[in-house]
Amino acid sequence: MQTNPTYSSLVAVGDSFTEGMSDLLPDGSYRGWADVLAGRMAARTPGFRYANLAVRGKLIAQIVDEQVDLAAAMGADVVTLVGGLNDTLRPKCDMGRVRELLTEAVERLAPSCKQLVLMRSPGRQGPVLERFRPRMEELFACVDDLAARHGALIVDLYGAPSLADPRLWDVDRLHLTAEGHRRVAEAVWQTLGYEAEDTEWRTPLPPTAPPTWLARRTADVRFTRQHLLPWIGRRLTGRSSGDGRPAKRPDLLPYEDPAV
């Protein structure tokens, strides 16, 4: 890892986490940590180019089939790859196949860029994480091994206390808030070797009074109606939230701030 490096391009590969849900912009699009990171890198490097191929709902097989070769062909300085977590959250998941596909993705991407970045994804506290924790940790062990073998950097979000706080997660309980995405961008920024802008990104939020029983039940009902039941419906019918949706930045072009 360099100190205060100069990178001229970034390509982000993955699913909704990298697309930027739920860091919502006024026009209804999503920003997310990858956009924030690209903006910081562009401020240091004139002519900086950025592509974001991530699409919500994608499984690792779809990421490999639809994004990896495109990303490799771009020849970017930095490529970020985060995938496989959607697979671990499915009722049935072949972890052996997930590991094979993640390995295939890394083997294609690592030679195509100056620096490949992998992540141990964040996980909020609660029963969902506990149910799927063994699969997630098996996925992260694979990430660790691949990084060691291919010279990739690892951003450990799973081990960050701040990102386990439910207050940094949207009401759907699957995606980070704007503040959560900002902290992820800071984590990647520092991992790439840039001087820290926020040395406390891992630090938990100050404690607040816990919500009342009624507030918790109201939130649970809203979550079930607006997010859980539609998610179950898509699983039962074989649909995905990303079906037919293009990448928001499919070409490696000079960076433009999506918030402007």
**Is residue 183 one of the residues assigned to a domain?**
yes
**Is residue 73 one of the residues assigned to a domain?**
yes
Range of the domain at 71: 9-254
* Structural domains of the chain, count: 1
Q: How confident is the model at residue 135 (pLDDT cuts 50, 70, 90)?
A: very high
Query: Per residue in 140-199, pLDDT tens?
Result: 999 999 999 999 999 999 989 999 898 898 877 688 999 999 999 999 999 999 999 999
Question: Are residues 142 and 99 in contact, defined by beta-carbon separation less than 8 angstroms?
Answer: yes
pLDDT attached to residue 249: 96
Q: How confident is the model at residue 24 (pLDDT cuts 50, 70, 90)?
A: confident
Residue 234 has pLDDT above 70, yes or no: no
**Is residue 260 one of the residues assigned to a domain?**
no
Q: What is the rounded CA–CA span in Å between residue 7 and residue 115?
A: 9
Q: How confident is the model at residue 233 (pLDDT cuts 50, 70, 90)?
A: low
Both tokens of 227, joined, read 């997010």
**Is residue 152 one of the residues assigned to a domain?**
yes
**Is residue 96 one of the residues assigned to a domain?**
yes
Query: Per residue in 92-128, pLDDT tens?
Result: 899 999 999 999 999 999 999 999 999 999 876 655 5
**Is residue 1 one of the residues assigned to a domain?**
no
Q: Is 255 helix (H, G, I), strand (E, B) or coil?
A: coil
Intra-chain end-to-end CA distance of the chain, in Å: 32
Lowest-pLDDT range, 29-43, 107-121, 189-203, 245-259?
Answer: 245-259
Domain at 231, CATH number: 3.40.50.1110
> Strand runs (DSSP E) across 83-234, as ranges?
115-120, 153-156
Phi, psi angles (nearest 5°) of residue 259: -85, -10
* C-alpha dihedral sign at 234, 121, 11, 203: positive
Q: What is the rounded CA–CA span in Å between residue 178 and residue 168?
A: 8
**Is residue 3 one of the residues assigned to a domain?**
no
pLDDT attached to residue 214: 60
- Angle of helix 178-191 relative to helix 33-44, nearest 10 degrees? 50
Residue 227 has pLDDT above 50, yes or no: no
> Strand runs (DSSP E) across 42-93, as ranges?
49-52, 78-82
**Is residue 259 one of the residues assigned to a domain?**
no
Both tokens of 193, joined, read 């070797």
